[in-house]
Every structure is written in C-alpha cells, then in structure tokens.
Chains A and B, each alone.
Chain A
C-alpha cells in the first residue's frame, strides 16, 4: 500500500501563535482517514497546508509522494471546505463547468451530468446556487470536488450546518464514492459519531499536536483495556451481584441493562466469570471484550490535557 498523504514534523506559526506544533501523520492510499479535533485544534490549518493554500513554517508535506504545491498534485486532489465557495449567481451546472475548465477536464459535459446525478442534484442543474439549501450546497461542493476524478478527497467538516437528513444523504454519497472509486479520503470533523461511522483510521489533534493516530478499531480496543462485557439472557439477583462484587479478581463494575461489566485482574479468564454466573443459574448469552468508543478516546485526551494543567 502506498502513501497518499504524509506530514512530517509540520509546524505553522501565525505571528506569536503556533497553530501546528510539529505534527506528523501518514494516510495510506485507500484509507478513509478521520482527522478529529475540537474547534481551533488545527484541523483547518492542516488542510490548508495540504491544499497549498498556506505554507508550513517548517516540516515536510507530501501528497502522492510529491510536494503539495505542484499543479500536477492539485489536479489529483479534490476538496470540500467548511465554506462551499460556490458562485451564488451561477447555476449548479455552471459552477461545475467552471471547475471542470479550471482542472482542464476534457469532454466534461457527461461527467458533470454523472456527478450531479450521483449527488441527487440532476433535476436542479439549471437552478442558481443562491437558491440552494446548505445541504444541497454541500452536495454540490462534493460533486465539484469529484468533477476531475481525483485520487484523494479532502473534506473539511463537510457535514457542519447540515440537517440530519442531509447528513444521512452526504454519508450515503461518501460511502458510495469509497465503494465505487476506492478513493483516499481525508475527513476532518469534530463529530465523533460521524468519524466512527465512516473512517477506518484516525488521528486526533489537540492544540496543534497529534495526540494519537492509527487504525480506529485497534485504538478503540486498546483504550477499552481488558474490560469484558457479559450479555445476559435473563435477570441477575441482587445476591449474585453482591457475590460478584465480593470477588476482587473479577473487577465487577456493575450492571447496565442486560449486561454485566467486568475489569478482571490479570490471570482471570472470561470462562472463570461465565462459569461462576452459570453455576449461580444466570443465563449467559455471550461475552466480549469491551471496546472504547471514540468518545472515550476523546475524553481520555481531554482528561490528559486537564491533568497537565
């Protein structure tokens, strides 16, 4: 697998303020990469550097193995920024034609039709963009980002300001793009749920520093520690709960709905816990390792930051 995007010790300073403090990350070809961070964390600055809109103060930036400022690289990258940047007085089709000409797309008519069809705006092709809702504008911006069939798609909070149905539609289109075209997607967001739904790898930026980066599943498993969740097929009596709480090796954490949560000490097997429950007449339907949610990951980073204060 080749590297689509690589940032190496990138710093960006605006006057006295350092917005990026030596960030490094790698996005492999075909990744759906989530770039998480709260407002002001440095996500947009990173994206602007990737798009050569601003220059890094130091560090190395490469896209498809080349320097990001080359026109040939710009032609292989599509993007949707937090502000769509569409011309209001022009129709949807004219906006796409404009960018098709900018990107030197040959015979762009059928491609524009196909992209408008893909984002569900074929019937609004001749309407002025000024009359579009926020969701429609973002979908059109996505069509614009795809009009030159880029290898990499960079999306800066593409769902922000869109209503829930618009978000579902955008997500569907994005997943379609990934499935059909196998593009590399760099998706910046502060919406943990959104990233968890779409991305396979993530990086989390906080105050200009990458706090963690890697395979989403691995990170979540790692953050989940050695937790175990037992799915119950029936009720658990208070006496059994009290008995479980009295066994320190099990690390019983409590009952939530139809589940019992444990953080067992090293040497304690899942089968030990399940065996004890079955022996007490509790119906067990399943047991699995507990995974942290992205929210847990985020919370742990924030907690670490607070702890440093």
Chain B
C-alpha cells in the first residue's frame, strides 16, 4: 500500500507541480464548457419549462440529470485528455518506468497507481462540478419558480455514474500508454470522451432518455462492465518487457 501511495503522489508531483499554466487552462476550459453547456440548456429548455403554465417537474428533473451528468463528464474527460499522454510521454522519455520497475514494484501495481493518479483528480473535479451544477441550477433557476426538484437519482448520475464509466477508461488509456504508445492512449481518451458525451446528450435531448433513471444507471453500469472486460482482455499485454521496450532509447 505504501508503494502504491508513493507512486500516486510522485505522479501528482511530477504531473501538476510545474504546470500551473496547463492546470489553469484545463480548469478554465472546464468552467467555460460547463457554464456554457449549463447556460444553454437552462436558457433553451429549463427556464421555458419553469415559465410554462403547467411546468413538468419530471421533465425538469430529466434536464437537471443531463446537466449534472454532463458537467461531471466534461470535467473528468478534460482532466484525462489533457494530463494522461503528456505525463506518460515525458516519463517514458526519461525512462522513469524502467527505474521504478527495477525496484520491487510489479508492472500491475505501476499501472494501477498511474490509473488512480489520473482518475482521482478527475473524480474530485467531477464531483465538484456535478454538485456545483446541481446546486446552482436548483437554487438559481428552478427553486425561485417552482421550489426544489430534488432527486437523489439525478445527483447520483453525476456523482457516481460518471466515475464508474470513467475508471475503466482511465485503466485502458494508461494500460495502452504504458505497454505501447502513450499517444494511442490519448486517442482512446479523446474518442471515448467525444463519443460518449455526444451519444448521451443526443439520447437525452432527442430521444428523451432520462439520465437520472434506473435504466440509464443500468446501461451505464453495463458499459463500465464491458470496458472492464476490455481491460481484462488487454491485461496479458501489460508486461515489464513491453513497458521497457516501448520506451524510446
């Protein structure tokens, strides 16, 4: 356990310490996209619904679930996209993994530590932005006209479902980055981010999918399980030798 926490804290120090500009840019982008997304949905959907003669609380709760899920997803996705390949490429170039794996550290421990080191800051941002969106939209947009539309499922979609879907994505991205090319890992992160956000938002707006519903929660869990199976299938490729030989000389 001490080795795992040492690996995670070293990753944090090496990835974030000298990058205040990148960090500020990432946070700025997250705020920009999330505020824009929330403002757009509020202006086009929630506010008109609350002003209607018979506001539909269930419909508003659906929109809110979409906002909470989307906010968490954007925050988490940006963190994985911006910081994963960047740090892995540098560590490979400096052959840091070779020195770590020469010590009593198994390759799977290194992989898990790196995956957690990418996932945990994303999780913190995801929770932060999900709660901020939930509280902000409830307090500023919904509550003044029709009281709180409180739904545990709505909050849960952002706080739990996004991290559940994203953890296996982090594991795949780091696995591919460690055993192969970190840029390929980043491509996976990019594709996962853009595809999933586009898919869920389209289904929510066009097909009326409720992101706070048990059905969506189940679908989300099934998706995470599927990714988990992909991780298991890829795991035999994660060997010390592959990690070492994939580092450029």
> Which A residues have a C-beta under 8 Å from some C-beta of B?
14, 48, 51-55, 71, 74-75, 77, 79, 81, 83-90, 94, 98-99, 101-104, 130, 144
Contacts and interface: CB of A to CB of B under 8 A. Distances in A.
Consensus secondary structure, chain B interface: helix
B14 interface: yes
Contacts of B95: 81, 83, 85
B206 interface: no
B13 A86 contact: no
Contacts of B138: none
Nearest to A79: B102
Interface stretch (B28-36, B53-61, B69-77, B240-248): B240-248
Nearest to B103: A102
Size bracket of the B interface: 20 to 34
Nearest to A44: B249
Given A54-B241, A54-B244, A101-B3, A87 B103 contact: no
B98 A54 contact: no
Interface in B82-126: 90, 94-105
B2 interface: yes
Nearest to A90: B13
B14 A81 contact: no
Given A85-B96, A87-B13, A89-B14, A54 B240 contact: yes
Contact of A85 (B13, B15, B94): B94
Q: Is chain A's binding surface mostly helix, strand, loop or mixed?
A: loop
Contact of A102 (B13, B90, B104, B245): B104
B10 interface: yes
B6 interface: yes
B105 A102 contact: yes
Interface string B1-40: 0110111011001110110000000000000000000000
Nearest 7 A/B pairs, CB to CB: A85-B99, A101-B6, A74-B104, A83-B95, A71-B104, A51-B102, A54-B241
A84 B91 CA distance: 11
A85 B244 CA distance: 12
A85 B98 contact: yes
A17 to B, nearest CB: 12
A194 to B, nearest CB: 22
A130 B100 CA distance: 18
Contacts of B104: 71, 74-75, 102-103
A81 B102 contact: yes
Given A81-B102, A94-B13, A104-B2, A87 B241 contact: no
